[in-house]
Structure 1
Amino acid sequence: MLKLLIIIPAYNEASNIERVVDNLIENYSQYDYVIVNDGSSDDTRKICANRKYNFLDLPINVGLAGAIRAGIRYANYHGYDYAVQIDGDGQHEPKYIKDMLEKMETAQADIVIGSRFKEEKKPNSMRMLGSRIISGAIKLTTGGKKIEDVTSGMRLFNKRMIKNFGYNMHYSPEPDTIAYLLNCGIKIEEIQVEMYERIAGTSYLNLKNSVWYMLKMLFSILIFQWVRGREVK
């Protein structure tokens, strides 16, 4: 059987991590998992150790990109065929992993994104306005390829992408990377999923920086990606 690893980056997720991992153990034991404790300052590490969860313990906070890269390298080292990223706050439903795998196979995709907006309309809000603008920028710079949920943290990678994200390229889990990968010839698809709001804990995304984030993404998508070397193999 093909092997799949669930990667769970966790920064100060003491309020959520047991709920997320116990659900995987009880209901999705066909998949392996690894928690990447990203230098948390709360009891995330203690909970993982006491509950004997499978986890990597990063000694300092390296950020979401670094935490995912650590998980991806773990997947590569242990020979996994697929790796799927889900958040440690419980907003992602593991039941959709099966559908994501089926989409990857039928579409021969390299990456499948669990999307809130593949079939559902985006709500009217400032945050969704930013999402629409970034989606438009990706479409403009990739020959018309539209990604509806550009900030989704639920992503499935095939073996080729595991190798690339782990060792061959600098990967950040951001919309500009999606645009870059599409222009490298990587096939990215979306499927509709349902996501939940964070119940507790600390989000990687600071809302105070949302405007700066959008401007940075637009600069990278519209300008920087064209001078970036094509590292994907």
Structure 2
Amino acid sequence: MNLKVLVIVPAYNEELNIKKVVNDIQTNAADVDYVIVNDGSKDHTLDILKRNHYNYIDSICNLGLFGAVQTGFRYSLENNYDCAIQFDGDGQHLAKYIHLLVDEIAKGNDIVIGSRFIDEKKPISARMLGSRLISASIKIVTGKSIKDPTSGFRAYNKSCIKEYALDMNNPPEPDTLVYMLKRGKRIKEVQVQMKDRESGESYLNLANTIKYMSRMIVSIFLIQPFRKR
């Protein structure tokens, strides 16, 4: 089954990484399309996109990860893609695994997560402690085990593209996996490897990590199970 696939790359201040990311996609997943969503970058990201004639959408202001990815979903919906891949612009995700995710979408899954922890154990760290808590929370609420719920490397089928593109209450975050599972969506994980960020800084410092994990867990227990379906 040949699917029309779009890779969505949200990018905020990724001037040191974005060329490597696009080169990786073009080299290791040459038969898929991509769009970079420049999320109001303040560095030279936009200049690089223009100079290299990359396919991109430019956001005047910083929408945040959800806004940038949703922009990509809307582009995917408008251009009739069968599968959309969420793919970070910081160089941590590897394009050689894209086809593994697409293959599972072709087999009938609705969402496929590129997981670091199917065959490997989670390291002991504050961030991974948060990941364990989110995994446990999802298991309690849905009965489904998701080992890497915070992975931003995900594939979505056509029906999910529409839902994520049009629903402002449905960001591509770990908590909304609960909502999708409650609606009967099939979610599968496949083992992938990820690189450490080589350049730039992640916004998830210790304080932000604690806030993020707390918000996710509250949403998993108190919001997502009760959303109207």
Range class of TM-score, shorter chain: over 0.9
Cα deviation code 1:133-156 (max 9, x no counterpart): 1100000000x2010001101000
SS of equivalent to 2:188? strand
**How far, CA to CA, are the matches of 2:123 and 2:180 in structure 1?**
27
1:58 has 2:59 as partner: yes
Q: Quick one: distance in 2 between partners of 1:201 and 1:22?
A: 18
Aligned-partner Cα distance in 1 for 2:226–2:81:
32
Q: Which position in structure 2 is the counterpart of 1:153?
A: 152
Structure 1 residue 200 displacement after superposition? 0.8
Q: Which aligned segments of 4 or more residues in structure 1 are displaced greater than 4 angstroms? A: none
Amino acid at match of 1:130: G
Kept in 2, the 8 Å contact 1:104–1:110? The answer is: yes
Q: Does 1:132 align with 2:132?
A: yes
Report the number of matched residues: 228
Does the 8 Å CA contact 1:37/1:57 hold for their aligned counterparts? yes
TM-score (norm 1): 0.94
Q: What letter corresponds to residue 110 of structure 1 in structure 2?
A: D
The question of 1:214 aligning with 2:198 is answered no
* In structure 2, C-alpha distance between the alignment counterparts of 1:187 and 1:102, rounded to whole Å: 14
Aligned to 1:43: 44
Any gaps of 5 or more consecutive residues in structure 1? none
Question: Structure 2 unaligned runs (5+)?
Answer: none
CA distance in 1, matches of 2:3, 2:209: 39
Does the aligned pair in 1 maintain the 2:21–2:90 contact within 8 Å?
A: yes
1:39-88, Cα deviation, whole Å (9 max, x unpaired): 01111011000110000000000000000000011011111111101100
> Is the 8 Å Cα contact of residues 69 and 171 (structure 1) preserved in structure 2?
no
SS across alignment from 2:208: helix
Deviations 1:195-232 (A, max 9, x none): 001011242434321112111111101111233222xx
Whether the aligned pair in 2 keeps the contact of 1:9 and 1:88 (CA below 8 Å) is: yes
Corresponding residue for residue 68 of structure 1: 69
- Give TM-score, length-normalised by structure 2: 0.95
C-alpha displacement of 1:124 = 1.5
Q: CA deviation at 1:9?
A: 0.3
Partner of 1:176: 175
1:51 aligned partner, one-letter code: N
Q: Distance in 1 between matches of 2:27 and 2:186?
A: 33
Distance 1:187 1:27, change over 3 A: closer
Partner of 1:110: 110
Secondary structure of 1:112's aligned partner:
strand
Give the equivalent residue in structure 2 for 1:167. 166
